[in-house]
Structure 1
Amino acid sequence: MKKAIYIVIIFIFFNISGLAQSPGLIQNRKHSEKVSFQLINDLIIFPMQVNGVPLSFILDTGVRKSIVFNFTDEEEEAANLKEVERIYLRGLGAGNSVEAYKSFNNVFKIGDLVNPNQDLHVIHNSNLDFTPRLGVAVHGIIGSDLFKDLIVEINYSRKYLRFTEPEYYNKKLCKNCESIPLEFHKDKPYINASVKINNKIIPVKLLIDSGGSDALWLFENPQDGIVCNNAYFEDFLGFGLNGSVYGKRSKIEAFYINKFELKNPNVAFPEVSSVSAAILIEGRNGSLAGNILKRFNMIFDYNNEELIIKKNSNFKARFQYNKSGLELAHDGFHLVRTLENIVPIGQSDNGSEGLGVNNTKVIINPWYKVTLRPIYKIVELREGSPAEMAGLEIGDILVKLNGKETYRFTLQELMAKFFDEVGTTIKLQVIRRGREINFKFKLEDVFKTKKP
Structure 2
Amino acid sequence: MKKILGFIALLLMLLPFMVSAQSFKLPNDQEFQKINFELINNLIIIPVEINGSKLTFVLDSGVSKPILFNLSDQDSVQINNVSEVTIRGLGDGEPMKALSSQGNAFKLGKAKNYNQDLYVVLDKDINFSTSLGIPVHGILGYDLFRDFIVEVNYSGRSIKLHNPSLYKHVKNRKSQTLPLTIERKKAYVDGAVLLKDEEDVPVKLLVDTGSSDALWLFHAPEKGLEIPEKNYEDYLGRGLSGDIFGKRTKVNGIKIGDFELKDAKAAFPYRESFGSIQNWGDRNGSVGGEILKRFNMIFDYRRGTVTLKKNGNFKAPFQYNLAGIELQHNGLRYIAESIADFTGVVRDDDSTFGNVQILLENKTRLSLVPEIIVSGIRAGSPAAEAGLQEGDVILAVNGKRIHRYKLQEVLKLLNEKEGKRIRVLIERYNTDLMFSFVLKKVFD
Same fold (TM over 0.5): yes
Larger CA deviation: 169-178 vs 252-261: 169-178
Match of 1:230 in 2: 229
Match of 2:103 in 1: 105
Map 1:52-451 → 2, pairs under 5 A = 52-73=52-73, 75=75, 78-198=76-196, 199-278=198-277, 280-341=279-340, 368-447=364-443
**Structure 2 counterpart of 1:102, one-letter code:** S
Alpha-carbon distance in structure 2 between the residues aligned to 1:24 and 1:320: 36
Larger CA deviation: 246-255 vs 370-379: 370-379
Alpha-carbon distance in structure 2 between the residues aligned to 1:218 and 1:276: 16
Structure 1 residues 309-353: Cα deviation after superposition (integer angstroms, max 9, x where no partner): 10100000011310111101011222334444459xxxxxxxxxx
SS in 1 for 2:64: coil
Larger CA deviation: 276-285 vs 40-49: 276-285
SS in 1 for 2:165: helix
Instruction: Give the conservation status (yes or no) of the 8 Å contact 1:105–1:117.
Output: yes
Match of 1:26 in 2: 26
Larger CA deviation: 53-62 vs 417-426: 417-426
Larger CA deviation: 155-164 vs 145-154: 145-154
Match of 1:348 in 2: none
**Structure 2 counterpart of 1:14, one-letter code:** L
Instruction: Give the conservation status (yes or no) of the 8 Å contact 2:397–2:414.
Output: no
Instruction: Give the conservation status (yes or no) of the 8 Å contact 2:4–2:238.
Output: no
**Structure 1 position 93, deviation (Å):** 1.2
Paired residue total: 422
**Structure 1 position 426, deviation (Å):** 0.8
**Structure 1 counterpart of 2:234, one-letter code:** D
Alpha-carbon distance in structure 2 between the residues aligned to 1:238 and 1:6: 5
Larger CA deviation: 111-120 vs 54-63: 111-120
**Structure 1 position 174, deviation (Å):** 1.3
Instruction: Give the conservation status (yes or no) of the 8 Å contact 2:2–2:376.
Output: no
Q: 1:118 to 1:40 in 2, by over 3 A?
A: same
Instruction: Give the conservation status (yes or no) of the 8 Å contact 1:295–1:313.
Output: yes
Match of 1:360 in 2: none
Q: 1:294 to 1:192 in 2, by over 3 A?
A: same
SS in 1 for 2:13: coil
Residue from 15, 29, 45 that aligns with 2:13: 15
Structure 1 residues 226-257: Cα deviation after superposition (integer angstroms, max 9, x where no partner): 01111111100000111100000000001001
Instruction: Give the conservation status (yes or no) of the 8 Å contact 1:215–1:265.
Output: yes
SS in 2 for 1:148: helix
* Percent identity for Structure 1 against Structure 2: 38
Alpha-carbon distance in structure 2 between the residues aligned to 1:376 and 1:389: 21
Instruction: Give the conservation status (yes or no) of the 8 Å contact 2:145–2:300.
Output: no
**Structure 1 counterpart of 2:282, one-letter code:** G
TM-score, with length taken from structure 2: 0.91
**Structure 1 position 175, deviation (Å):** 1.3
TM-score, with length taken from structure 1: 0.89
Structure 1 residues 238-293: Cα deviation after superposition (integer angstroms, max 9, x where no partner): 00111100000000001001110000000000001112444713100000000000
Unmatched tracts of structure 1, length 5 or more = 344-364
Alpha-carbon distance in structure 1 between the residues aligned to 2:260 and 2:437: 35
Larger CA deviation: 105-114 vs 327-336: 327-336
Structure 1 residues 96-115: Cα deviation after superposition (integer angstroms, max 9, x where no partner): 21111000000111111111
SS in 2 for 1:170: coil
Instruction: Give the conservation status (yes or no) of the 8 Å contact 1:64–1:144.
Output: yes
Alpha-carbon distance in structure 2 between the residues aligned to 1:9 and 1:367: 47
Alpha-carbon distance in structure 2 between the residues aligned to 1:430 and 1:249: 28
Asked which structure has the greater CA Rg, the reply is: 1
Instruction: Give the conservation status (yes or no) of the 8 Å contact 1:61–1:143.
Output: yes
**Structure 1 position 165, deviation (Å):** 1.4
**Structure 1 position 143, deviation (Å):** 2.2
**Structure 1 counterpart of 2:411, one-letter code:** M
SS in 2 for 1:212: coil
Structure 1 residues 136-174: Cα deviation after superposition (integer angstroms, max 9, x where no partner): 110011121233111111100000011121001132221
Unmatched tracts of structure 2, length 5 or more = 343-360
Q: 1:220 to 1:21 in 2, by over 3 A?
A: farther
**Structure 1 position 392, deviation (Å):** 1.0
